[in-house]
Structure 1
Amino acid sequence: MTATPSTSTTAGAGRRIGIVAAVVAVLAVLVGAVAGPEHRRLGPQTTGDPALAERVRAAAGGHDGYRSLAVAEVTPTTVTTAGLGPADAGAPFEIGSVTKTFTAALFADAVTRGEVRPDDPLERALPELAGTPAGAVTLASLAQHRSGLPALGATAAARSPATTVNLNPYSSTTTAQLLDDARTAAVDPQQPPTYSNVGVALLGTALVRAAGAAGYPQLVAERITGPLGMTSTTFAAGDAQIPDTAVPGHRDNGRPAPRWAGEGYLPAGSSTFSTVDDLARWARAQLTGAAPGTGALTPTAQDDPGTSIGWIWVTSGATGADGARHPYVWHNGGTAGFSSMLALDRDGGRAVVVLGDTTAGVEPVARTLLFGTPPSDGGAGPLAWAPVAVAALFSLLALRRALREGALLPIADGLLTAVFGLVLLWNRGPWSSVGGWVWGLVLAPAAAALAVAVVRGRTLPLCRPGHAVTAWAGLGFSVLLVAVAVWAG
């Protein structure tokens, strides 16, 4: 006769499994709270002008999503700065596409110097593009994002998934590669205005060639940063050129972000470092007319009823505390771990610069400082909670499998799927609103499932008879999902 476990023995084993699972689940929540993703909040530290710092805190709303901010308020005769949070407010930040305002000024200045004309085809400055669709687009269309070129060249586009996972899509594009990509780039004359980094990069490259300069950094130094005394603005064509004192950027989960460096897209802002003091000088020079190429600020094309564009600079409106609509000229920027904004109220003779060391957009802060626009609460929107729902579902399904499945491979498959969800949540969760305890709550069922699998695994077969192929295939797919999630992190 075959011995059958008694009801009391089965119940005792079930209780032991339940106790182990519960203990592990509680520990998982604690681990998440202590070591999980960071809830990004504006730090309490303050430097510079206390009154401005107080206004910045109010403008930042609930302070969620930010960590450190460096801010300047500028008039033609004064500059007031403040720093909030742990970062050194006087150190270089990555400024991203605010760099495009340098390219805009160089373009307008080159037109004044007679080096180029707005209606010049790109191939006039870059003859290696002669006979190609890209070579026929005008410099003006590049400066207005109306060239018909795509957002990125082929080399950067092949790495474009890196943008969504906070990696650097620009590192492999040299200036020579940028031109190679341009030779084969499609141009769609019917394309609506499309923000094109490759277009601005080609514009900047054409201006360098027309000026006979050694490179984009040298041209900016000769015509902009040198004359204006912007001694802390630098460009990183490679990792070795990243300033040692640069502020570290931060990802959505609060962890350090990778640096961006690369040569080909320098005119578009792939890797520019500057300080709030330098950008305040730049903003002040726009207000006073001391900057080269201030004609770039003047709109030359209409995007929609409320927005127009000059040479790269955008003009739009913001509703102020007085209820009136105020026009302002601006450009923002963002990299893997930074956000930036330079905004000019030309009618009021005022400007603001806001630099942040996270990816949370600083545009609302700038508008509030300029016009009293109601501050944003900084909270995460509904879509930000989607990774929580996905990860929680996978984690609960893993626990269900661990308790009910009669073979190890399906249980392992469920655990790996839960790992995928947890990694996804770690990298893309709503950490501007909540802390790691949410990650710990989602981890708890998966951790309990692992504990159950360990306890039950001694008595379970590898797979059910006749299900080996599907079991191994499912496991392999889950391994692939985890690999993708880890790479994306």
Structure 2
Amino acid sequence: MTAIDNHRTPATAGRLPRRMGFALLAAALTAAVLAAITPWPRGFQGTPTGDAELMSELEDALGSRHWQHVAAARTDGDEVTFAGTGADEHTEFEIGSITKTFTTALFADAIDRGEVEADTSLGEVWPELEGKVAEVTLESIAMQRSGLPSQNPAPSFSDGVMTMLSNYVHTDPYRGDAADIVASLNDVEVGEPEPEYSNYGFAVLGQAVAEVAGLNYSDLVRSRLTEPLGMKETFVPDSAEGLTHGFTASGLPAAPWTMGGSAPAGSIRSTTHDLSIWLRAVSDGTAPGAEAAEPRTEFEDDRIGWAWFTTTHGGSTITWHNGGTGGYRSYLGFDSKSGKGVIVLADSANWVDAAATLISKPADTEAADSARRDSAAKSGTQS
């Protein structure tokens, strides 16, 4: 057997460095390409708009992330201040789970109209339902303690696969229309009526209110909320048209969400102009169904009304909701005692809940911290 000779002849000694050189060159080119296509953390992009002081405060509150564009509004009684970068008060964003505050306003308004009661059950809305699900009340859904699962059952195996894939290709994970949401109730397992954030529950709630009103959810939002309040820039989309995309937390493109039958959980698009109308009308009680914001029971570290959360610390009590879709984040909160409120809409999947510090007292930053802690639970496949 011939022994292995580790001694390099001049020829082999020359080949190895060249191979190493090619490998290093390939590695350098690969690194350059990855650097070119991988977004790096940076500040908000685009031309500043509106109030520079408000934008500066917001940037300080939100910190360094991979941001893209943002629009913000701060209310103080009837006074509204707008700011943004790459966006202004009329720029359209997905508002995610802030949609739930519209859904519960419709629920409260339907009670005022005598169409339902707080303890109306799903079996009363859809008499064909049987078993435990038929006993679930609309109010229990509105207070996130219905026992319904957190996410929608997939209408089919292929839909389930597509929903899983959507997490990787950054597309709308919600499948099925309103009829699919109702049909899914026949097979759903109902757990204990304990606090658990449920997007599926809110899809059911919105479709239930639409059922008793005899309108689809989109028309219900328009006729009973946005038109009476003059919110011309707020609507439930039926297609991706109008938005190209938002961005993931790392800056990759993420497709718009329309959410189909799950629209009541988080599909509404709006602007800071319109949400400033919504915030003030809810906080002063003039919005249809404004009583939905009143705290009713405990939810983890907060109190909850119908969708709305209320966080109290020191001298500030902030009523709020946040939202998140594949490429957008949102926050809306107000302190009814001081009359101050704040709205932030961003087309990047980085949480903006720290905006609560813009209306809370300096010693009350724990309120914003609590909001951030809750973000993971109160989010979308959040919405």
Decide: shared fold, TM above 0.5: yes
Shift of 1:312: 1.1
**TM alignment of 1:4-403, pairs within 5 A:** 7-43=9-45, 45-62=47-64, 64-84=65-85, 86-87=86-87, 89-129=89-129, 131-155=130-154, 158=160, 159-162=162-165, 164-165=167-168, 166-170=170-174, 172-189=175-192, 192-213=194-215, 215-239=216-240, 242=241, 244=242, 246=243, 248-269=245-266, 271-304=267-300, 306-318=301-313, 324=314, 326-372=316-362
Cα offsets for 1:421-471 (capped at 9, x unmatched) = xxxxxxxxxxxxxxxxxxxxxxxxxxxxxxxxxxxxxxxxxxxxxxxxxxx
Tell whether the 8 Å contact from 2:176 to 2:260 is kept in structure 1 after alignment.
yes
Following TM superposition, the consecutive aligned residue runs of length 4 or more in structure 1 with deviations greater than 6 angstroms are none
Counterparts of 2:109 and 2:89, CA distance in 1:
31
Counterparts of 1:26 and 1:82, CA distance in 2:
42
Shift of 1:57: 2.3
Cα offsets for 1:379-435 (capped at 9, x unmatched) = xxxxxxxxxxxxxxxxxxxxxxxxxxxxxxxxxxxxxxxxxxxxxxxxxxxxxxxxx
Counterparts of 2:307 and 2:38, CA distance in 1:
41
Counterparts of 1:180 and 1:332, CA distance in 2:
29
CA RMSD of aligned residues (A): 2.6
Cα offsets for 1:199-252 (capped at 9, x unmatched) = 111111111111222x0111111111000000011112334xx3x2x4731123
Extract unaligned runs of 5+ from structure 1: 319-323, 377-489
TM-score of the aligned structures, taking structure 2 as reference length: 0.86
Q: 1:231 to 1:128 in 2, by over 3 A?
A: farther
Extract unaligned runs of 5+ from structure 2: 369-383
Q: Which has the larger radius of gyration?
A: 1
Shift of 1:192: 2.9
Give the share of equivalent positions with the same residue, in percent.
37
Shift of 1:34: 3.0
Shift of 1:127: 2.4
**Residue type of the alignment partner of 1:178:** I
Tell whether the 8 Å contact from 2:167 to 2:173 is kept in structure 1 after alignment.
no
Q: 1:253 to 1:125 in 2, by over 3 A?
A: same
Counterparts of 1:144 and 1:366, CA distance in 2:
22
TM-score of the aligned structures, taking structure 1 as reference length: 0.69
Tell whether the 8 Å contact from 2:173 to 2:259 is kept in structure 1 after alignment.
no
**Residue type of the alignment partner of 1:274:** S
Tell whether the 8 Å contact from 1:70 to 1:354 is kept in structure 2 after alignment.
yes
Cα offsets for 1:264-320 (capped at 9, x unmatched) = 111111x2211110111100101222101111111122123x4111111111135xx
Q: Which moved more, 1:203-212 or 1:350-359?
A: 203-212
Counterparts of 1:369 and 1:328, CA distance in 2:
9
Counterparts of 2:343 and 2:235, CA distance in 1:
17
Tell whether the 8 Å contact from 2:246 to 2:347 is kept in structure 1 after alignment.
yes
**Residue type of the alignment partner of 1:128:** E
